[in-house]
Amino acid sequence: MAAITPKNGRVAFVATWDPHTYWELNSTNLGTNYGDDSTGNDDNTAVSSGDISTQDSYEGMNNQNDPSNNSRFDVWLVNDACALVYIPAGLAHGTNYGLWHNGGGTNAQGGFLRATTTGVEIACAHNNGGDLGDYLIEEIPDADLPGWFCIGWQFNSEGGDEGDMGLWLNGSLVRSGTRVYTLDYGSGAVDFGNNSGREPNASQVLDPSSYGGGDWGGNNSINGTGILIANFTCDNPSGGASDTSAGNGDDFYTDYYDEHTDSDIDVTVDPGVIAQTLATYQANVDAEIDINVGVAALTLATYLADITADVAVEPNVIALSLVTYAAAVDDGLAEPYIKKVCGIE
């Protein structure tokens, strides 16, 4: 599960989904809410400029900052939640960190992460009536750390089924299961950058079904860990505290990933999937055959700039039109580029 290059997709995402809570958590917009919460307690005013740090050129909140009571995040149960989370390498093994929760020790929905000897586990967690809960857990290997990850915590409507939970990483459903216990309104104040709900109990983990990681034990805040949280959103589109209120469904999570990930930079060039070698290109030019005109998305200047900066170029846009290619040949510029993307020395 490779790390992503994050981007601020707030405008497009909020326009599509209108969640009740959305905080960018950066130096420009600290805890200002861009969702539809009209209770008057929707901003997280606890976030200040000193709570913002930067990793890999992207900003996020670096410690616990709990919002005011009586927002919809507080008084409604959470069906859907997503965030960009920066996970550093070298977190203390066996240590459980709380990311957020709505509620408290009696009823809560929330997220945790825990460092292990092989990676970092992410948990989608809800509890009802104290120690009764349902949990989904997935591990990100150490080899993929450090970096930003897109995490989604789905407590209802996974696959369109009321009662089904899902854990999403980078736009993909990685764990799912049908809740055993009722999803209920959080009975205490919201934690943000911590989680006072019940930590995962190994016997109540839905997926993986044969979880061998043991109970997680007491959790810590993210303070001083290097963990960052950005672009946090949560929602309950049906409102209130009913277990049967429908969630947004799976598209909420795939769209959040699409809007908050710079996919143009995440791709890599694989010469094995480039259909035409330099010789084939030249043969096509000689035969006056047009070369993938429909995907001539970038100018030669942009290609050359990307090559100079070692920026990865998506394979399906590596071709130039015949006209552009011919002009490049005349300028003596095309051959070095074609050799590079084709892996020809």
Q: Residue 209 pLDDT > 60, yes or no?
A: yes
Domain count, the chain: 2
- What pLDDT score does 112 carry? 98
Domain boundary among 248, 266, 284: 266
Q: What's the whole-number mean pLDDT along residues 316-328?
A: 43
In this structure, are 161 and 128 located in the same domain? yes
Q: What's the whole-number mean pLDDT along residues 323-330?
A: 46
In this structure, are 162 and 94 located in the same domain? yes
Would residue 279 count as lying in a domain? yes
Band (pLDDT 50/70/90 cuts) for residue 275 is: very low
CATH of the domain at 53: 2.60.120
Higher pLDDT, 333 or 47: 47
In this structure, are 212 and 106 located in the same domain? yes
- What pLDDT score does 282 carry? 58
- Chain centroid, CA 243 distance in Å: 26
Q: Residue 313 pLDDT > 90, yes or no?
A: no
Would residue 1 count as lying in a domain? no
In this structure, are 255 and 278 located in the same domain? no
In this structure, are 206 and 302 located in the same domain? no
In this structure, are 87 and 199 located in the same domain? yes
In this structure, are 65 and 179 located in the same domain? yes
- Chain centroid, CA 100 distance in Å: 15
174-177's contacts with Cβ under 8 Å and 24+ in sequence apart are: 174/1, 174/138, 175/124, 175/136, 175/137, 175/138, 175/206, 175/207, 175/208, 176/136, 176/206, 176/207, 177/134, 177/136, 177/206, 177/207
Domain boundary among 266, 288, 307: 266
Distance between CA atoms of residues 46 and 23, nearest Å = 12
Would residue 280 count as lying in a domain? yes
Unique residue bearing structure tokens 């009662």: 163
Domain boundary among 266, 291, 312: 266
- What pLDDT score does 116 carry? 95
In this structure, are 279 and 252 located in the same domain? no
The string of pLDDT tens digits covering residues 290-309 is: 444 433 444 445 554 555 45
The string of pLDDT tens digits covering residues 55-67 is: 999 999 999 999 9
* Contact status, residue 111 vs residue 122, Cβ threshold 8 Å: yes
Q: What percent of the chain has pLDDT over 90?
A: 62
Would residue 26 count as lying in a domain? yes
Would residue 151 count as lying in a domain? yes
Distance between CA atoms of residues 122 and 193, nearest Å = 14
Lowest mean pLDDT among 162-166, 183-187, 203-207: 183-187
274-278's contacts with Cβ under 8 Å and 24+ in sequence apart are: 274/315, 274/318, 274/341, 274/342, 276/319, 276/342, 277/342, 277/344, 278/335, 278/338, 278/339, 278/342, 278/344
Is the four-CA dihedral 289, 293, 297, 301 of positive or negative sign?
positive
In this structure, are 145 and 160 located in the same domain? yes
In this structure, are 196 and 281 located in the same domain? no
Q: What's the whole-number mean pLDDT along residues 86-102?
A: 95
Higher pLDDT, 187 or 337: 187
- Report which residue type is found at 1: M
Higher pLDDT, 46 or 278: 46
Could you give the 3-state DSSP secondary structure of residue 51?
Answer: helix
Q: Residue 273 pLDDT > 50, yes or no?
A: no
Is the four-CA dihedral 38, 40, 44, 49 of positive or negative sign?
positive
Q: Residue 314 pLDDT > 50, yes or no?
A: no
Provide the domain limits for residue 193.
Answer: 10-266
**Token couple for 119:** 């990676």
- What pLDDT score does 336 carry? 53
Lowest mean pLDDT among 179-193, 252-266, 315-329: 315-329
In this structure, are 276 and 262 located in the same domain? no
